[in-house]
Amino acid sequence: MKIEIRYFSGTGNTAITAAALGKALKELGEISISSIEENIPVGSDTDLLILGGPIYAGNIPEKLIRWLLRNVESNKCSGKAIVFTTSAGLKNAFGNKSMSLKLIKKGYSIYGTAAFEMPRNYYFGSYEKPASDIIKEELKSISEKSADFIRSIDWDSPIKPDSKGILQLDLFAELFSVMARFMGKSYRVDESCIRCGKCVKNCPTRNIRMNENGVKFNLSCMHCTRCLHGCPVNAISYKGIKYEQYKPDEILLKIQENN
């Protein structure tokens, strides 16, 4: 069985979840797993496609919607699909519905949808960074939750999501992506910047430039927060405020080392 896993992840939660799902599925066949930033299309002969992304303002990022529409070929072999999201809360998150309906149009049948609660990576304004024991617990439990989810799938019964409200939901994702371009102008770099270029290299929308005057943010931000959390010296602020960074890979590594 040919299994393809594709995801977008701004700061690591969705990548960690995709890897955990891959591990849970490894008995079923040959698995290829990659971020949509590697831009490896999904061929028409895929037996099982797993697609996932983080929730931004109630839906998956518009970048992932666009990628799905352009890079998942129409399926020619009764392909099965599973969709998943990661978010800080499980309410009002419609990304799975959005992905499912588009994959059905491309000839897939949906066998599983999962919304995984993961630590909030966006704690600007009125939101707060989760407590460190909650962060550790959510990251630690994702392997088990992923395995439980895969075990719960009934491979004889495809799911039929209702399409009510989908146009408005996708329109809202598009609207958020336009707002994010302007919100991204509020990121700033201070004098602690060591000009390592990591933010420039890693930005998923190539929104950051570095020249002799310093680091500048342009107008194609998707507000993923990767630059802020990934800067090695925490030189990036948002609306003039510095935040404690969120680094899920490092936390997970420490958890694994201590076990």
Ligand X SMILES: Cc1cc2nc3c(=O)[nH]c(=O)nc-3n(C[C@H](O)[C@H](O)[C@H](O)COP(=O)(O)O)c2cc1C
With CB under 6 A as the contact rule, the residue among 3, 24, 48, 56 that binds ligand X is 56
With CB under 6 A as the contact rule, the residue among 15, 103, 207, 251 that binds ligand SF4 is 207
With CB under 6 A as the contact rule, the residue among 26, 195, 239, 254 that binds ligand SF4 is 195
With CB under 6 A as the contact rule, the residue among 226, 246, 251, 252 that binds ligand SF4 is 226
With CB under 6 A as the contact rule, the residue among 235, 246, 251, 252 that binds ligand SF4 is 235
Q: Please, what is the minimum distance in Å from the beta carbon of residue 189 to ligand X?
A: 19
Under rule CB under 6 A, residue 64 binds ligand SF4: no
Q: Which 102-121 residues touch ligand X, going by CB under 6 A?
A: 118-121
Partner whose footprint covers residue 215, from ligand SF4, ligand X, none (CB < 5 to 8 Å by kind): ligand SF4
Partner whose footprint covers residue 100, from ligand SF4, ligand X, none (CB < 5 to 8 Å by kind): none
3-state secondary structure the chain: CEEEEEECCCCCHHHHHHHHHHHHHHHHCEEEEEEHHHCCCECCCCCEEEEEEECECCECCHHHHHHHHHHECCCCCCCEEEEEEEECCCCCCCHHHHHHHHHHHCCCEEEEEEEEECCCCCCCCCCCCCCHHHHHHHHHHHHHHHHHHHHHCCCCCCECCCCCCHHHHHHHHHHHHHHHHHHHHHEEECCCCCCCCHHHHHCCCCCEEEECCEEEECCCCCCCCHHHHHCCCCCEEECCECCCCCCHHHHHHHHHHHC
Binding stretches for ligand SF4 (CB under 6 A): 184, 187, 189, 193-199, 203-205, 207-208, 210, 215, 217, 221-227, 231-233, 235-236
